[in-house]
Amino acid sequence: MDNPTATAESEAEPTRRGRGRPRRSIDREQVADVVEELFEEGGYDAVSIEETAKRLTVSRATLYRTVPSKEHLLAILFERMTTELYDEAVAIAEDPELTPREKVDRLIRAQIDAAFRQRNYLLVFFGGGSLPAEDFEHWKEWRRKYEGVWLRVVEEAIETGDLPDDDPRLITRLITGMTTWVARWARPNGPHDSAHVADVALRLVLSDLKR
């Protein structure tokens, strides 16, 4: 007579991976998670194919088939970061319930929040120089599109008098440059959290021009 416990264990066994046996498939989201962890632990120099493979429990050969270099590891994280930033910016810019002033407010808060959360690698990507050639081209295209979203909002805010009547592209680059640079000095346990930094930035940018 069959042992029910033994039968259940034998049926479940194919779903388990034996101790020490590496997986054969690669999930790009998991790769991005690991690369982000490594950045947080040791910065750019801590990211490597070897350590990523170890943490994913895959062989280096398996990882190499999907991610042939450190630069490609960075590109996977870059893709996730840029998608999140762009999608959030578009959602803010296209929200019909928001005034131009409110859109500028939301965009600045979103950018500063990202600077805090992604402080370990945001500036690496905004420089673009650590990416493979094809991803560097993607970065340039993304930067153009992302700036375009900001530019439309800035133009609206200039028309309503909420931003100075000056070159909208200049204003856009000054604001995005200031908010991106927050990643250089932001600290999660520092004296100023992202909300307070955003409040100060907004007082600088959205001062009462009509008084």
- Domains of the chain are 18-68 (1.10.10.60), 77-205 (1.10.357.10)
Q: What is the DSSP letter of 121?
A: T
What are the residues facing 23 on neighbouring strands? 58
Half-sphere exposure of 181 (CA within 13 A, CB side): 7
pLDDT of residue 125: 65
pLDDT < 70 positions in the chain: 1-25, 123-132, 208-211
CB contact at 8 A, 186 and 115? yes
- 110/1 Cα distance (integer angstroms): 64
The strand ranges marked E within the chain are none
State how far Cα 167 lies from the chain centre.
28
Task: Return the C-alpha torsion angle 161, 166, 168, 170, nearest 10.
Answer: -140
- 66/43 Cα distance (integer angstroms): 23
Largest CA distance in the chain: 90
Structural element, H or E, at residue 3: none
pLDDT of residue 123: 66
